[in-house]
Structure 1
Amino acid sequence: MRHGYFAGWTVRWLTAGTILLCIASGCAKLPDNSALVPTTVISATEQTHLATLFADDKKEHPGQSGFYLLDNGLDAFVARAVLVLAAEKSIDLQYYLYHPDLVGGLLADLLLQAADRGVRVRLLLDDMGLEGRDINLFTIAQHPNISVRIFNPFIRGSSRVSQFITRFGSVTRRMHNKSLTIDNQATIVGGRNIGNEYFAADPELAFGDMDVLAIGPVVNEISNSFDSYWNNPLSYPVELISSQKPDPEALERARPLLDAYTKRPEAQQYVQALKNSQLARELKNDVLPFSWGKAVAVYDDPEKISAALDAKDLHLATQLNPLVNELSSEFLMLSAYFVPGKEGVDFFKKLQSQGVQVRILTNSLASTDVAVVHCGYAKYRKELLRAGVELYEVAIDALPAGKKKQQVFGGASKASLHAKSYIFDRQILFIGSFNFDPRSADQNTELGIVFDSPELGRKIGKRFDERKSTNVYQLRLVPDNYGGEDVEWVRKEGGREVVRRVEPDTSFFKRLLVSVMALLPIESQL
């Protein structure tokens, strides 16, 4: 899910009162953060349970890291929970969104239990989804072993809408990174935020997503990345910006509320999976089938948020250039939000001209959770198809209504693709938070892991090949009645090929709205 400048709200009309509020809020300031106390990764963790658990595996693969794909929402939660339960020294969490729902409550309860055991917990959250929630974070930060910092915060006491105007170019740039690292021995990096829809707990909405659980040398690189953000001046301790006053009893009152999450009927699938699932057993018994290979963490410098947009030396995308330059046969992309722009179209054309087949899976207008982003993609479809790029869009009705739908590249996708994964020649993979769009490339900060694994590259590629004609629409160009070309959507249904000539599963009014939004000069913010 995405909450950029135009994502949560498309267009707001400013009344005279709002304009006055904007002017007034421009006088407000963030508190002085110069006394920020830096902390760094606890590196002396060689004697922890996780270190000894994975010691033999790492010894057999010197210099390499191990990877396990988490492309199922339930497994993605179980992996996080098992690692948090095993923590002895430190837990570092960095997320764009952390929802106060079932999954968020279950994880918070586990974090509190870890802190009670003496584990140091550092929680770093972007401020985009935290409006009105300072009291929750302030309460849990009362624990002596838990620290909470908020990255690039909005000014408290001032309207957020007004700050989108007065602080445009500042609060519109967000920390989109997502990682959970335990004892500097294991990390989970990928596309998932913390919330029901990312872990198959929301009956109305499920995101198809992908994370990777990693062990080995790359974990320390993720820890170093976390430290660079945690100690950045844009990371504010929640107690510094919160208007709440210390309440020694608040944390004790919160304990039974968090514990109650585990008693809810809807939580039982997670409670039971944590006890009995195959993944939980394999992880606890060190028989998880890791794939091994060289790996590197790639991430934006946190200074990107305040630097000029053309400061490319701070950007994650620049670090991927060597992989692109070495492509020989295929570039497979899974990107929830895809806005290539003119530069991206030229990039894909160049790859095609060099004999590299570009294949892209993204959301359809019906499956996307942010329709305004779709307008930044749709206008480039014809040019990409003319160049030979294969375009695929997620279908939302692959199975009859009421039936559980099949997994589509990273989880139970009832509604929307959320994964951000890139596979180079079915050998090298990037999994992380980076979408192929201007917001990820230039505005927000992102994080991911690049790893060499022909085994996983072939696995994802094969899955794509098997499902591309049934679970997704393939786009094709056909002549129209006026000497031009139209896009059509093709998919097999019931063993026969079905062709649609308008955006599938959408209303006329939704298509009209997106057409109108496409006229707005907002592509750089998508």
Structure 2
Amino acid sequence: MTLALARLCESHPGRSGVQLLDDGPAALAVRIALIRRAQTNIDVQYYIWRDDVAGRLLLDELAEASARGVRVRLLLDDFGCAAVEHLVTALPGLTVRLFNPARLRWPRWPNAVFDFARLNRRMHNKSLTVDGIATVIGGRNIGDEYFDAGHVELAADLDALAIGAIAGEVAADFQRYWDCPEAVPLARLARSGAKPLLPAPPVDRRATYLAAAASPATLALLDESQDFEWAPLTMLSDPPEKISGTLAEAELMLPRLLTTMASARQRLLLVSAYFVPTRASKALLCDLAAQGVRVDVLTNSLLSNNVVLVHAYYAPWRKRLLSAGVRLWEMRGAEGDRATLGLIPRRLRRRRPATSFFRASASELHAKTYVADGRWLFVGSMNFDPRSWRLNTEMGFVIDSPRLASTLEAALDAGLPRFAWALELHQGQLGWREDDYLIHPEPGTTALQRIALRLLGRLPLAGLF
């Protein structure tokens, strides 16, 4: 790691510096810059890794780091990273393990029939740690839709760049996952005759990424002390044994996370791409609202949600939450804007300048975060749904920083009316408010789709999503 970053950490012994990465291109650029500065080791842990420009570029950077003597370890979820298995097999110098892999490598579909209960549990963690001194964690997987501001499926997301003591904790957490029996060396699994690695095409997107990684603005994010908030950070992480389904809830990160949420006394602002309440979580939110806490929840609308079944299991809770005083917001996304374009005159539609969290081009919400009382915030991989709570392994930071919390809260408050529908309940009927217009029924849906969603929502499968 560079001398400047090492000196920053040495000047704050035993402490951690953190900054938020809400801009997609900057989030990838920081990852590349960190890899290029690595001197001893890089530990990488991801749920999804796409075979696209961002995915290829980051693999190239890791291979170059390995070629100059850096130890590079990749721990990838077998379900989310199957597309790049042939790529990492062909790259020299990378040590790769797959988490909870399918036993039958090809074809894969029979695994879903004969081994569903095991394979339905996944490693959802996301981290990149360099030299045990710097780490990036958060909601973003590796793929163009998380980093390219012009991507048609751009996901609004949030990461945290942290340096100092907390990076050592993430490195230790990576090690316990690396050593667990569910992390299987790729060499034991890869099929013979793997496809050779072809060079990524020289497209404009790749050039844009590389320019951002080399820009003075990106390098300043790593070197300027004023960009880091030196604040108390708590790392929360599920043990890898969660994948067995045998651990008690007290051994998971969930109780600790809910305790921090329940401590809110003025406001809780929750952002979850996949929001599927349970009786217990509904009680938590409604109890806070009953105590006078302002509770706002931002999630995806049907039109911005990339998993329709998640929306089907969330939708039945809306009236109950609104009736209890919880405020619900649903991100419109590009599809939502098109769906209401004919309902609201263009001259009356509010302009949508980008904020420091939302982007006008974002098609979906992918972030998992919350802000409590303008002081505490969570950034990580855990959604507010049964899958994250019970099935997948997750990780994240709880940050005690009024400055960062209030900055994120202000960005969300500024963007919510511009990028999301506010749900309202009138005489028992739901309405979706945009500017001064109340839209109903649910935007962008037909009567048949609404009936289908209600039927899907009655199936006893919510715990799987």
SS of the residue aligned with 1:448?
A: strand
> Does residue 298 of structure 1 match 2:249?
no
8 Å contact from structure 1 (residues 196, 202) kept in 2? no
Partner of 1:28: none
Is 1:358 aligned with 2:295? yes
What SS class does the counterpart of residue 169 from structure 2 fall into? helix
Runs of 4+ in 1 over 6 A off after TM superposition: 398-401
Cα gap change, 1:509 to 1:121, in 2 (>3 Å):
farther
Structure 1 position 450, deviation (Å):
1.1
TM-superposed CA distance for 1:239, in Å, is 0.7
CA contact (8 A) 1:407 1:413 kept: no
Check conservation: 1:282, 1:288, Cα contact below 8 A: no
Does residue 286 in structure 1 map to residue 224 in structure 2? yes
Equivalent in the alignment of 1:136: 87
- Which amino acid is the alignment partner of residue 386 of structure 1? S
SS at match of 2:265: coil
Q: In the aligned structure 2, how far is the partner of 1:162 from the partner of 1:225?
A: 33
CA–CA distance in 1 between the matches of 2:67 and 2:226? 28
Q: Which amino acid aligns with 1:438?
A: P
Question: Letter of the aligned partner of 2:236 in structure 1?
Answer: V
Flag the structure with higher helix content.
2
The offset of 1:266, in angstroms, is 2.5
Q: Structure 1 residue 423: deviation in Å?
A: 1.2
- 1:111 counterpart residue number: 62
Tell me the residue number matched to 1:460.
Answer: 408
Structure 1 contact 208–413 (Cα < 8 Å) conserved: no
Residue 171 of structure 2 aligns with which residue?
223
Aligned residue identity for 2:452 = L
Is 1:214 the counterpart of 2:153? The answer is no
Instruction: Give the aligned partner of residue 367 of structure 1.
Output: 304
Aligned length: 453
Whole-Å Cα distance in 2 between the matches of residues 512 and 330 of structure 1? 35
Q: 1:67 corresponds to which letter in structure 2? A: V
Among 430, 435, 442, the alignment partner of 1:487 is 430
1:273 counterpart letter in structure 2? A
Structure 1 counterpart of 2:348:
none
Separation in structure 2 between the aligned mates of residue 339 and residue 433 of structure 1, nearest angstrom: 15
Closer, same or farther: CA 413–372 of 1 in aligned 2, 3 Å: farther
Q: In the alignment, what sits opposite 2:209? A: 270
Q: 2:8 aligns with which of 41, 57, 77?
A: 57
Query: Is 2:440 the counterpart of 1:501?
Result: yes
> What pairs up with 1:366-515 in 2 under 5 angstroms?
366-397=303-334, 406-407=354-355, 409=357, 413-479=361-427, 485-492=428-435, 497-515=436-454
Alignment map for 1:40-79 (pairs within 5 Å): 48-49=1-2, 52-79=3-30
Please tell me the residue identity of whatever aligns with 1:356: V
- Check whether the contact 1:200–1:207 (CA below 8 A) recurs between aligned residues: no
From the superposition, tell whether residues 410 and 306 of structure 1 become closer, same or farther in structure 2 (CA, over 3 Å): farther
Helix, strand or coil at the partner of 1:110 = helix
CA distance in 1, matches of 2:63, 2:20: 27
- 2:442 is aligned with what amino acid? E
> Which residue in the other structure is 2:250 paired with?
313
Give 1:353 shift.
2.2
> What amino acid sits opposite 2:70 in the alignment?
V
Unaligned runs of 5+ in 1: 1-47, 480-484
Deviation at 1:470, TM superposition (A): 1.9
Structure 2 CA distance for partners of 1:321 and 1:343, relative to 1, 3 Å = closer
TM-fit CA distance, 1:129 = 2.7
- Rounded to whole Å, the distance in 1 between the matches of 2:204 and 2:357 is 28
Q: Secondary structure of the equivalent of 2:72?
A: strand
User: Could you tell me whether the CA contact under 8 Å between 1:375 and 1:518 is conserved in 2?
Assistant: yes
Using the TM superposition, give the Cα deviation of residue 343 of structure 1 relative to its aligned residue in structure 2, in angstroms.
Answer: 1.6
> Which residue pairs with 1:522 in the alignment?
461
Deviations, residues 397-426 of structure 1 (Å, cap 9, x unaligned): 58789x997357355652100000011211
Share of identical aligned residues, percent? 36
Q: In the alignment, is the contact (CA less than 8 A) between 1:206 and 1:412 conserved in 2? A: no
Question: Relative to structure 1, is the Cα distance of residues 463 and 407 closer, same or farther in structure 2, using a 3 angstrom cutoff?
Answer: closer
The Cα shift of 1:58 comes to 3.1
Q: Would the aligned equivalents of 1:92 and 1:226 in 2 still touch at CA under 8 Å? A: yes
Match of 2:273 in 1: 336
Tell me if the contact between 2:357 and 2:415 (Cα under 8 Å) persists in the aligned partners: no
Q: What is the distance in 2 between the residues matched to 1:405 and 1:156?
A: 49
Distance 1:217 1:472, change over 3 A: same
1:155 shift after superposition = 1.2
Q: Does the C-alpha gap of structure 1 residues 76 and 290 become closer, same or farther in structure 2, counting only changes over 3 Å?
A: same
CA contact (8 A) 2:355 2:411 kept: no
**Could you tell me how far 1:435 is from its partner in structure 2?**
0.1
Aligned to 1:85: 36
Superposition CA RMSD, Å: 2.3
Please state whether the residue corresponding to 2:274 is helix, strand or coil.
coil
Deviates more, 1:158-167 or 1:354-363: 158-167
Q: How far 1:326 moved relative to its partner?
A: 2.6
Distance 1:104 1:405 in 2: 29
**Residue 65 of structure 1: CA displacement?**
1.2
